[in-house]
Structure 1
Amino acid sequence: MDATALRIALFSGNYNYVRDGANQALNRLVGYLLRQGAQVRVYAPTVRQPAFPATGDLMSAPSWPIPGRGEYRIPLGLSPALRRDLKAFAPNIVHVSSPDPLGHRALSWARKRGLPTVASVHTRFETYPRYYGLAFMEPLIEAMLRRFYRRCDAIVAPSDSMAQLLRDQRMNYDVGIWTRGIDQDIFHPDRRDPAWRRSLGIADETPVIGFVGRLVMEKGLDVFSDSIMLLQQRGVRHHVMVVGDGPARSWFENRLPDASFLGFQSGPDLGRSVASMDMLFNPSVTETFGNVTLEAMACTLPTVAARATGSESLVTDGVTGRLIRPGAISQFADALETYCTDADSRQRAGAAAHRIAARYGWDQVNQALVDTYVRIIRQRERGALALASPVP
């Protein structure tokens, strides 16, 4: 069995209406599958003006805006129209990418028909409540996630560290890796543009600390801004460059009034911005991989990151960057100060990071998931079944 025999029903809570690393990875996956001769059908919420065109055939799932975060939508489940489409498509494997109502209904639909199921894990949903004063809910959400993922034949994580966390949390007995790739043409040190930096008012000798990502509190914006303010108090010369947009942008701009806020960027513009930084600061603990970290590494940037899933699999502490205890403001500032004041240390770490980033190619990582699909289908054919219910 190879990719040409696959008929994949892919369910996503956000396939293309808001751009993020997870749905861009899913679109790249679908593009790869189609090039290999597989049949793919995507089921996800849609909007009139999505962030980018969908790759492949996209069927619209009914949804509602999330209260307080209207840019995101909650898919409500499988409508009669989607059920008819699924029956006509006749998938031989189901891939769910979000533990939302649509994902739950998709799992139930597949299990009722004896179809194998794979879930991809893209973020640490259980950590989100802590950023909104609801940390007491984390054990409940973790239990709900366990119930969801234990209904699947297998789950895949984007990094070794995230896979180990999922095993420790007893999410599933079959945990594989579907990592992320890098576009080496876009993210490359040759994209650095000193003239463009000067146009932003940044002197050549001023170290630039970069942030790349959606501007939401769960990305650690408070830790980032507190660490930068401590650098300022110490008199460390630097400039902050922020690439991205989101609902917390005004809050972030008020905290960092001297920073350059460039908004959302993509393609060559994003590559130029990242390569024109001198280091990446990623204090988030919610990532399961950290696409922006890999992109920065490909541009020969050292990364200062929280010691958390995702970053631990990419950043080698003291070699390609620094891993700091989450929330340790003073230690984050110490690491940033070192890279701001010691150009040799910064360049050594950046060069080491570039060597590691060269290992990641999209076709290789997507083929690994194809291999997982084929393995799970064969296991089902031999009579192996997913667990019927979560184990405490």
Structure 2
Amino acid sequence: MNAPAEHPIVVDEFPALRRSLRVSIVTETYPPEVNGVARTLACVVEGLRERNHEIQLIRPNQSKAETRGEQASDDVLFHEVLMRGLPIPRYPHLRMGLTSKKTLVSLWARRRPDVVHIATEGPMGWSALQAAVQLKLPVCSDFRTNFHAYSKHYGMGWLHKPIMAYLRKFHNLTACTMTPDEGLRQELTDYGFHNVEVVSRGVDTRLFDPARRSAALRQSWGVAPDDLVVLHVGRLAPEKNLGTLTMAFEAIRRVQPRARLVLVGDGPSRKELQARCPDAIFAGMRHGEDLAAHYASGDLFVFPSVTETFGNVTLEALASGLPVLAYDYAAASQLVQTGRHGALAPFGNMNDFVQLGARLAADPAALHEMGRQAREAACQASWERIISRIEGLYHALTEGRPLPQPESAPARPRLAV
């Protein structure tokens, strides 16, 4: 008798498990500080921990109550090292880290990371870069804040060239620089940056959800159920181009006289804005579920900034079910289709921006439908996909392989309002 045939051997039915990495992340901002960089890094750290990577977070102490030195943690995959911090001029709520290259060389020589990820380019980032180069550690960086663009908004346009020269030198000493969109990647490449990789951003759709809309909150703003609430979330500062916001709101109010402007955030321009918009609601800094309720209780998100590297607030607004009016670049360019999720004005064209605001406000039914589609679009921005992309870059750096390319996004038609 013939022997029974053996079952065929199935090869590569499951993908090979990647080894866990020891990652040292160096940043000069982290929660509870409130800004897009801090929130994004917290999501990255959490995502990497969920994939069983060991994270060492090096950051400045954020208050006198925090003691410098390594901090213990119940989680063996996460520990923090706090360094001396000083307030940043004009940004007193943020701190720059002050530590020496020698300190970091000693720290990493005792427990060598597989890869160093430098998220900010301040003094601490520079020391970390020098230490990583000395120890021949794989190192990558983020380009997250347009400091070179901010200079002109503070009367220091002459600093643009030296700031850009420093940033180029900094990032070109790393194996790759992560940036959140293709437009900025091309801009940096044109400036002479090498090995720039696109790594987009995600959003917590469980936190930022239209279901958090609050009738009580809207009532506290003095608006009726059918009144239009125009929302802005962000730092109240010159680089956010808030003059265009007030002009757009004035145009909206000519169409919807009962419209109300709500500004979430704080900053040096607050007093000027209060004088210009005495009827606006200045909600101040908001966090967590309270912030999410403020988003969801608005009707139209207006974001006129022209200095973003990405603009996390755009994605948070979309996830909260708000149509977005913004300029056609950064996050808005990736995520917003005019007529479907809000409207995009040509970059820097203030007149078009203002006119689009009035046109959106003129059709409340269409605005409501755009909000529904905005939520659907935001739900496609998965943190899982983004963490996988970062993990792939780490492994390529540690293994000396070519950097993996991101998934290409399909071309999007531009629709008329």
1:96 aligns with 2:111: no
Partner of 1:385: none
Equivalent in 149, 157, 164 of residue 186 of structure 2: 164
For residue 320 of structure 2, what is the amino acid of its counterpart? C
Partner of 1:190: 211
1:268 aligns with 2:289: yes
Deviation at 1:12, TM superposition (A): 0.8
1:209 aligns with 2:224: no
Unaligned ranges ≥5, structure 2:
1-15, 403-417
For 1:99 and 1:169, the matched residues in 2 are separated by: 17
1:338 aligns with 2:359: yes
- Normalised by the length of structure 1, the TM-score is 0.88
Q: Residues 1-392 of structure 1: matches in 2 within 5 Å?
A: 4-16=19-31, 18-48=33-63, 56-78=78-100, 80-172=102-194, 174-232=195-253, 236-379=257-400
Deviation at 1:364, TM superposition (A): 2.5
- The answer on whether the counterparts of 1:61 and 1:82 sit within 8 Å (CA) in structure 2 is no
Deviation at 1:235, TM superposition (A): 7.0
- The answer on whether the counterparts of 1:3 and 1:38 sit within 8 Å (CA) in structure 2 is no
Distance verdict in 2 for CA 1:204–1:43, change over 3 Å: same
Distance verdict in 2 for CA 1:108–1:290, change over 3 Å: same
- Helix, strand or coil at the partner of 1:74: strand
Q: Deviations over 1:53-92 (max 9, x none)?
A: 9994221223332334333333234264443222222112
For 2:86 and 2:217, the matched residues in 1 are separated by: 41
Deviation at 1:326, TM superposition (A): 4.5
Q: Deviations over 1:96-143 (max 9, x none)?
A: 111112212211211222211111121222100111112232233222
Choose 2-11 or 210-219, whichever is displaced more.
2-11
Choose 291-300 or 175-184, whichever is displaced more.
175-184
- The answer on whether the counterparts of 2:209 and 2:296 sit within 8 Å (CA) in structure 1 is yes
- Helix, strand or coil at the partner of 2:219: helix
Distance verdict in 2 for CA 1:327–1:238, change over 3 Å: farther
- Helix, strand or coil at the partner of 2:400: helix
Distance verdict in 2 for CA 1:161–1:327, change over 3 Å: closer
Q: Deviations over 1:199-249 (max 9, x none)?
A: 321112211110011222222222212332454567754111111223332
For residue 320 of structure 1, what is the amino acid of its counterpart? H
For 1:62 and 1:276, the matched residues in 2 are separated by: 39
Choose 219-228 or 200-209, whichever is displaced more.
219-228
For 2:242 and 2:147, the matched residues in 1 are separated by: 17
Distance verdict in 2 for CA 1:164–1:236, change over 3 Å: farther
Distance verdict in 2 for CA 1:3–1:124, change over 3 Å: farther
For 1:208 and 1:340, the matched residues in 2 are separated by: 10
- Helix, strand or coil at the partner of 2:330: coil
Q: Deviations over 1:185-209 (max 9, x none)?
A: 2222222223431232111221111
Say which structure, 1 or 2, has more relative contact order (CA 8 Å, 6+ apart). Answer: 1
Seq. identity, %:
29
Choose 217-226 or 113-122, whichever is displaced more.
217-226
- The answer on whether the counterparts of 2:230 and 2:249 sit within 8 Å (CA) in structure 1 is no
Structure whose alpha-carbon radius of gyration is higher: 2
Deviation at 1:50, TM superposition (A): 8.7
For 1:21 and 1:233, the matched residues in 2 are separated by: 33
- Helix, strand or coil at the partner of 2:393: helix
Choose 163-172 or 196-205, whichever is displaced more.
163-172
Unaligned ranges ≥5, structure 1:
383-392
Deviation at 1:312, TM superposition (A): 1.5
Q: CA RMSD in A?
A: 2.6
Q: Deviations over 1:251-306 (max 9, x none)?
A: 32222211112122222222221111111011112222221111111122111112
Q: Deviations over 1:170-198 (max 9, x none)?
A: 312x2223222222122222222234312
